[in-house]
Structure 1
Amino acid sequence: MDNSNSFKLACQISIDQFVFNKLQKFVIDKQAANDEVILSLASNSNYYSIKDIMKILNISTRKEVELLIKNLQLNKEKYRHLSANNEWLYNNDALNILKLYLIYKVA
């Protein structure tokens, strides 16, 4: 008779969290025992990629977002940082400035 019991738990989990958990599960072998892996998600860190900004502000093209960032001078270290994937991520201040600019232009 087997004493091990297994249970299935039904839960709702966001896709981002599922992907994040899947990435965190990696096999540690003898060579990688001292290596560090840093994984980050934009939703957890309050930094947004250009694709995230496009979705949030409902802008259709990447060029429009890049032009707005350039015109509003948001391409400074104060508003962005380079991720591990060599992609610029923008903070909440930059996102708020973009939102306010678009509201101002519409009004």
Structure 2
Amino acid sequence: MNQIPLEHILALGAILFCLGLLAVFSKRHAVVVLMGVELIFNAANLNLIAFSRYDPEISEGQLFALFVMVVAAAEAAVALAIILRVYQLFKTSNVDELNTLKG
């Protein structure tokens, strides 16, 4: 059975990470920023699983990836709740227009 080389998986993880950073820093819509953060988490998970797969003595990568998925799910739930509340108060989800903490 042919395995995909580790360098290819790491390159894919780097591409996902860069796309996530691009979405976080260039977009103004809060949901797109949140999707960029999720892409960054998925890139980190991909690297953790790849290193765990290519070194059979290390199984902690899979456990760390599971922990990252749990944290990402909780972060997404809290962030979506905040985005909905901000939209109710300010009638916008554009992060550039949110310059006050008062509701």
Pairwise same-fold verdict (TM > 0.5) = no
**Which structure dedicates a bigger proportion of its chain to strand?**
1
**Which structure dedicates a bigger proportion of its chain to helix?**
2
* Structure of greater Rg: 1
What's the TM-score once normalised by structure 2's chain length? 0.30
